[in-house]
Amino acid sequence: MVIRNIWAVGRNFKDHAKEMGAPPPDRPMIFLKAGSSATVGSSEIWLPEWTTSVDHELELAFRFDAFLRVKEAALALDLTERNEQQIAKKEGLPWTRAKSFDEACPMTPTFLIQNLEELEDKPYRLWVNDELKQEGLIGNMIFSPAFLLSYVQDYFPVTGGDFFLTGTPAGVGPIKAGDTIKVQMQGYITHIWKVYQNKKQEDPA
Ligand code: MG
């Protein structure tokens, strides 16, 4: 399946906005991750060689079908190169380096849902090396998935197969080669990734 676009919203949890030192937004802050930065159902995350400060951001993701209905969800990692993002913020530059590098959007396999409401009371969690780091709940979002999935279509050319990422709760932190990342939404999906990093080729002596 080709993923053309990954639409995402920033600062959609008050506790995360606070940890990033930003006020909660009064309208959704939409940004894009390259569709080609996604991996779906892989058991490996390969960080680019140049990255030095990649953070996990656990997010509930939804997939638009050919009729732009939402019948599938997934858990996604909105991986973010935090140094690059800080530079971009300071200099008023786009976030592309920070958000759209190779494999910047690992996703679990999608799972079927009947409606958005059924997920409302289902917490989703992320562990790094068996340590619980993040827990999300739709009820704690500033803008609800129902609102956002409609909003993004009002402003942007959403196409079938596109994903929407609903923002991360507090607790973002670094991942590095050797780490094991587990995510779970009980009754729906459990998925594990092993983290690797591409290294520069040594010059032959
Ligand atoms: Mg995010």
Cα diameter, the chain: 61
DSSP-assigned states of every residue in 100-131: -STT-EEEPPPEE-S-SGGGTT--EEEEETTE
Distance 9 CA to ligand 1 centre (A): 7
Distance 113 CA to ligand 1 centre (A): 22
Give the residue-averaged pLDDT of 76-98.
97
Question: Where does 62-199 have alpha helices with state H?
Answer: 82-91, 96-99, 145-155
Distance 51 CA to ligand 1 centre (A): 17
Distance 1 CA to ligand 1 centre (A): 23
pLDDT value at 204 more than 80: no
What residues pack around ion ligand 1 (CB closer than 5 A)?
Answer: 57, 78, 168
Distance 201 CA to ligand 1 centre (A): 31
Distance 12 CA to ligand 1 centre (A): 8
DSSP-assigned states of every residue in 26-64: SS-EEEEEEGGGEEES-SEEEE-TT-S-EEE-EEEEEEE
Q: What is the pLDDT of residues 25-84, one digit of tens each?
A: 999 999 999 999 999 999 999 999 999 999 999 999 999 999 999 999 999 999 999 999
In the chain, the domains with their CATH numbers are: 5-197 (3.90.850.10)
* Least confidently predicted of 21-25, 66-70, 111-115: 21-25
Give the residue-averaged pLDDT of 17-30.
89
- CB-count exposure of residue 38 (10 Å: 0-12, 13-18, 19+): buried
Distance 31 CA to ligand 1 centre (A): 9
- CB-count exposure of residue 159 (10 Å: 0-12, 13-18, 19+): middle
